[in-house]
Amino acid sequence: MKVAVLMGGWSAEREVSLTSGRGIAQACRSLGHDVTEIDMGRDVAQQLIAAAPDVVFNALHGTPGEDGTVQGVMDLLGLAYTHSGLTTSAIAIDKELTKRVLVPAGVPMPQGKVVASESLFDGDPLPRPYVLKPVNEGSSVGVAIVTDASNYGNPIRRDVPGPWQEFANLLAEPFIAGKELTVAVLGDEALAVTELKPNQGFYDYEAKYTDGMTVHECPAQLPPEIEAACLAHALTAHRALDCRGTSRSDFRWDPAQGLAGLFLLETNTQPGMTPLSLVPEQAKYRGISYEQLVQRLIDMAITDHKAKRQ
């Protein structure tokens, strides 16, 4: 088949997307496909038309590749593409909208609120410790944990580097102590639970994409009821959001609270496909090679596209 691998773009996650895209392109070539690599520009529609692919492998991360924008372009062009569609992408990239879908579906998520960054310089929106994060970014971009011991000041000082300098509004949530867990869903099956153990600090953007900074324990050594709950909640999230192909749900679990201490933080509709990424790692644990994973996502994209046209 003619496969266009869409990657790069101009989001904060550009370099990760390029790494994912190159790996996917190499896998597609090893599978015998005719591959066109596209580093997305503002003329993405023209780039896709020129490539004339049978299917587009969407390896973009962040805006506009993960928020429904590119999905809408590909829908207008009538192209088959991997991962979730326009509506799902637009909802899942927005952490507040995601809660409105998943909490009624029975998925436990931290209570929080969207606050104006300007208000943080007058006082805390929640009791410390709490987390501040952009409403619509992924890969832990712009996350800050505000504690009594943090060097942000009390109240937060305007001149201290943090997401309040980059985003007009932020989501404030209580900090959940404990373990960082994640679950990939492929098709309609939750694959495994991985515990992420950063060597220092928390699982931020640097810890995610720097080799050696985080230990991945797959499968995580968890009580059976916690493992089962993670798998079930990830699958519920995948279905409730109407994800396609693959998704990855991230959790925090406080062992001191048992099952009541488990919370889903977000669901990613465009999980990374780099050598350090979690979806390929969990697929490998389940006996699915990287090349097989890529082919499965392509096959699902074509099947979904045909179903939409009927």
- Specify whether 266 is catalytic: yes
- Specify whether 39 is catalytic: no
Q: Indicate the angle between helix axes 290-309 and 14-30, nearest 10 degrees.
A: 90
Q: Pick the catalytic residue: 247, 248, 252, 290?
A: 248
Instruction: Say how far apart CA 184 and CA 292 lie, in whole Å.
Output: 16
> Could you tell me which of 217, 253, 220 has the C-alpha nearest to residue 110?
253
Q: Pick the catalytic residue: 11, 247, 272, 277?
A: 272
Q: Pick the catalytic residue: 8, 9, 13, 277?
A: 13
- Specify whether 154 is catalytic: no
Euclidean distance between the first and the last CA atom of the chain, given in angstroms as a whole number: 21
- Specify whether 250 is catalytic: yes
Show the DSSP H helices in the chain as ranges.
14-30, 44-51, 69-77, 86-92, 95-102, 205-209, 224-240, 278-285, 290-309
- Specify whether 195 is catalytic: no
Q: Pick the catalytic residue: 209, 249, 290, 304?
A: 209
Count of Cβ atoms closer than 10 Å to residue 50 Cβ: 12
- Specify whether 268 is catalytic: yes
> Read out DSSP for 225-263?
HHHHHHHHHHHHHHHHTT--SEEEEEEEE-GGGGGGGEE
Q: Pick the catalytic residue: 66, 94, 195, 250?
A: 250
Residue 62 C-alpha from the chain's centroid: 9
Q: Pick the catalytic residue: 94, 180, 266, 281?
A: 266
Instruction: Say how far apart CA 193 and CA 208 lie, in whole Å.
Output: 16
Distances (CA, A) of 67 to 11, 62, 89, 178, 204: 11, 7, 5, 30, 21
- Specify whether 173 is catalytic: no
> Contact at 8 Å (CB) between 185 and 243?
yes
Three-class SS of residue 307? helix
Q: Which two tokens stand for residue 274?
A: 């780099």
Catalytically active residues are 13, 139, 209, 248, 250, 266, 268, 272
